Amino acid sequence: MRSTLLLGTRKGLIAYRFHNGQWTMESCSFEGVPISIAYADPRNGTWWACQDHGHWGVKLQRSKDRGKSWEEVTAPAYPEGEEVKDGMPATTRYLWSMAHGGNNYTSRLWIGTDPGGLFVSEDGGNSFQLVESLWKHPTRKEGWFGGGRDLPGIHSIVVDPRDEDHIHIGISCAGIFETTDAGKSWAIRNKGMSADFLPDPTVETGFDPHIVVAAPSNPDFLWQQNHCGIFRSTDGGKNWIDVSEPQGPARFGFAIAVAGDNPDQAWVAPADSDVNRTAIHGALVICRTDDGGKTWKQLRNGLPQENCFDIVYRHALVNDSNAVVFGTTTGNLFFSPDRGENWEVINNYLPMIYSVQFAD
């Protein structure tokens, strides 16, 4: 297990350090400022803070000394004249996802935004350019729309470590898109997914993946927590299979994580329903599958089982080796040293937690 946790929260970027068998707060940066994503680049140790100022808008900060000092870099911006749809100018409203470009592209970074634009940097984040091939995709203006947010957003960027020009992205609401040439061209990968909220379920786009992740041990195994259930692909997203529990809690939610050593093992953080986005029957539960979604186990030991309203946002459930950590909408942070069998409280009094990441 890596020894650092980075949290993006409603009131700052918070770092925890594991030492002498316990997690302690190491630092808090940008206290009072919403951090939509706190991200550590594993290639060079740089920390990134994607800020969501209520007054100043989005800003992007980086630190090369574990948060002791920060420098602001220019946040991704849409070229003048670009439109979300006819008559609506495109401006960066939210930085929703971040990923490094791989060990073969040491200066490459990707950022996904609301209103649905993907940006790439080839100079370590000093500048970002809109990926125009995706922005100008023929389905975008009419076939993409907002889900939980007013406009479409790219919340998931999955870079294949075997071929770093091969990338899957998740868009709410549009679905899964795949590129094999670093963004020059794109294929839609929504086969097998459902969208029961659409009048025509056979449409090409309009699906609502809440998050998409790849199994580290076999990146052809993709998992997504979708608005309409939990889906899994074993062929790189070409086909999706619904592995939700028809009658159990493992159905609706936002977050999903996959074990680093087993592509069939995954965790989800269920919520009651689309209509009632709270803990199920007042009890917090994490569900784990060990067999690719054929069966799910409810993991409750150490979690509150009454009077609980917490849910888990899409970037706030992670695992590393045997450790699993998640943060909630009411500022509770939980840790399991044994893949979810038992849970411990790290803190009950944090701000709303948007993202959690293990780092060195």
> Would the pLDDT of 52 be above 90?
yes
* Cβ atoms 119, 100 nearer than 8 A: no
Strand partners, 297: 288
Closest CA to 113 of 128, 126, 101, 133: 128
Residue 263 lies in a domain: yes
The pLDDT score that the predictor gives to residue 226 is 98
- If one counts every other C-beta atom within 10 angstroms of the C-beta of residue 298, the result is 17
- Report the C-alpha gap between 197 and 184 in whole angstroms: 31
Side chain identity, residue 72 = E
Domain that holds residue 309: 40-46+90-359
pLDDT tens digits, one per residue of 87-106: 999 999 999 999 999 999 99
- If one counts every other C-beta atom within 10 angstroms of the C-beta of residue 143, the result is 17
* Cβ atoms 52, 95 nearer than 8 A: yes
pLDDT tens digits, one per residue of 180-228: 999 999 999 999 999 989 988 789 999 999 999 999 999 999 999 999 9
Strand partners, 6: 15, 357
The pLDDT score that the predictor gives to residue 122 is 98
In the chain, pLDDT over 70 holds for what percent of residues?
100
- Report the C-alpha gap between 191 and 207 in whole angstroms: 10
* Stated length of the chain: 360
CA dihedral of 102, 267, 250, 161, whole degrees rounded to 10: 20
Q: What's the average model confidence in pLDDT over 107-112?
A: 98
> Would the pLDDT of 260 be above 80?
yes
CATH number, position 130: 2.130.10.10
Report the helix count and the strand count for the chain, using DSSP H and E: 2, 30
CA dihedral of 98, 101, 103, 106, whole degrees rounded to 10: -100
Residue 168 lies in a domain: yes
pLDDT tens digits, one per residue of 139-189: 999 999 998 899 999 999 999 999 999 999 999 999 999 999 999 999 999
According to DSSP, the β-strands at 323-327 and 317-320 are antiparallel
- Report the C-alpha gap between 15 and 258 in whole angstroms: 23
The pLDDT score that the predictor gives to residue 201 is 75
Residue 152 lies in a domain: yes
- Report the C-alpha gap between 26 and 17 in whole angstroms: 6
Please report which confidence band the pLDDT of residue 297 belongs to, taking 50, 70 and 90 as the band edges: very high
Residue 159 lies in a domain: yes
* Cβ atoms 310, 330 nearer than 8 A: yes
What is the number of structural domains in the chain? 1
Please report which confidence band the pLDDT of residue 48 belongs to, taking 50, 70 and 90 as the band edges: very high
Residue 341 lies in a domain: yes
- Report the C-alpha gap between 320 and 335 in whole angstroms: 11
Residue 60 lies in a domain: no
* Cβ atoms 222, 232 nearer than 8 A: yes
Residue 84 lies in a domain: no
- Report the C-alpha gap between 267 and 329 in whole angstroms: 18
Closest CA to 121 of 66, 41, 1, 231: 41
Residue 154 lies in a domain: yes
pLDDT tens digits, one per residue of 146-157: 988 999 999 999
Average pLDDT, the chain: 97
